[in-house]
Amino acid sequence: EVQLVESGGGLVQPGGSLRLSCAGSGFTFSSYSMDWVRQAPGKGLEWVSYISGSSSTIYYADSVKGRFTISRDNAKNSLYLQMNSLRAEDTAVYYCARGDFWADYWGQGALVTVSS
Amino acid sequence: QSALTQPPSASGSPGQSVTISCTGASSDIGGYNYVSWYQQHPGKAPKLMIYEVTKRPSGVPDRFSGSKSGNTASLTVSGLQAEDEADYYCSSYAGSNFWVFGGGTKLTVL
């Protein structure tokens, strides 16, 4: 059974940093592209970042470019999102998801709250 | 403002059919056959319902179907059931913008 489990969410002050992790299991992690998608409270879905299976291709949404860094460790079946210079508008549930042109599996989400 | 435009709400009675539209541009929906639809119940993660415009993942009932014409994609739910009540999001590959989503449609089963 494919499972994606996020961790690392929490409360952080504006300008602060946080690192999210996503542990994958039940599939050959290195063979799949992965993504981060977020959802602000009461709002819709917003794609954040993409990384290919080999980490050779990475994309970011304009809203996070230069502040967020996506990475993965295939030996640990893990995906990461380093978030720096956080803003109030980054407050959201962050989902890791598997796929490139669509996401066939999603994690349960990690809540990130940016507030003083 | 979302890149793709969906109606905020839709509704139908049990057993009826309802169609949700998703309008984009030639740079996303119109340019690629990578439209997907997701169902999201309150407090839950999104679930893939349709991919590549018309394909259904294993386990998704055939009551759910997708289509596309030009820059507009549609999701049709036939034989509405109470458990279909949820938020539905469309998404499309968009080249340099990679993924774009619609703002979501709240489907109510009357």
Strands ordered across the beta sheet of B64-69: B18-23, B72-77, B64-69
Concatenated DSSP letters of B25-94: -TTTGGG-S-EEEEEE-TTS--EEEEBTTTB--TTS-TTEEEEEETTEEEEEE-S--GGG-EEEEEEEE-
For chain B, say whether A3 makes contact (Cβ under 8 Å): no
Q: What are the tens digits of pLDDT across the range B34-87? A: 999 999 999 999 999 999 999 999 999 999 999 999 999 999 999 999 999 999
Say whether A46 and B46 touch across the interface (CB within 8 A): no
Residue of B nearest to A57 (CA): B98
Say whether B2 and A44 touch across the interface (CB within 8 A): yes
When pLDDT is averaged across residues A86-108 and rounded to a whole number, the result is 97
Residue of B nearest to A37 (CA): B99
CB-based burial label for B70 (10 Å; 0-12, 13-18, 19+): exposed
Q: Which residues pair with A40 in a beta bridge?
A: none
For chain A, say whether B60 makes contact (Cβ under 8 Å): no
Asked if the model's pLDDT at residue B96 lies above 80, the reply is no
Say whether B46 and A44 touch across the interface (CB within 8 A): no
Say whether A106 and B89 touch across the interface (CB within 8 A): no
